């Protein structure tokens, strides 16, 4: 089994904290909002793999083909450097 290094790619990203921070993050549809009455810092984003949950503090990354996906803050910090 060989070893491989991930290719270096520059991506756009924004940290999401609330609805309105990124246009790709939508409010979760009913009945998922039952446990989150009123203002909720949980959203949903459509990815190439299907819908994913987004929580306050997650990063929204725009991939090389314009797709969006969420990334937890600790993973983002370990994987990406500012350019």
Q: What is the pLDDT of residues 37-79, one digit of tens each?
A: 555 678 999 999 999 999 999 999 998 889 999 999 999 999 8
Task: Kindly tell me the burial class for residue 5, based on how many C-beta atoms sit within 10 Å of its own C-beta (0-12, 13-18, 19 or more).
Answer: exposed
Q: What is the pLDDT of residues 26-45, one digit of tens each?
A: 987 655 555 565 556 789 99
pTM: 0.77
Where along the chain do its domains lie? Answer: 12-79
Q: Find all residues with CB under 8 Å of 46, minimum gap 6, and list them.
A: 24, 26, 68
CB 19 within 8 A of CB 25: yes
Does the pLDDT of residue 82 top 60, yes or no?
yes
């Amino acid at each position: 089994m060989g070893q491989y290094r991930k290719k270096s790619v520059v991506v756009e990203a924004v940290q999401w904290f609330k609805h309105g921070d990124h246009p790709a993050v939508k409010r979760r549809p009913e009945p998922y909002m039952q446990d989150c009455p009123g203002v909720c810092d949980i959203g949903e984003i459509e990815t190439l793999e299907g819908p994913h949950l987004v929580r306050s503090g997650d990063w929204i990354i725009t991939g090389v083909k314009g797709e969006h996906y969420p990334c937890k803050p600790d993973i983002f910090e370990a994987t990406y450097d500012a350019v």
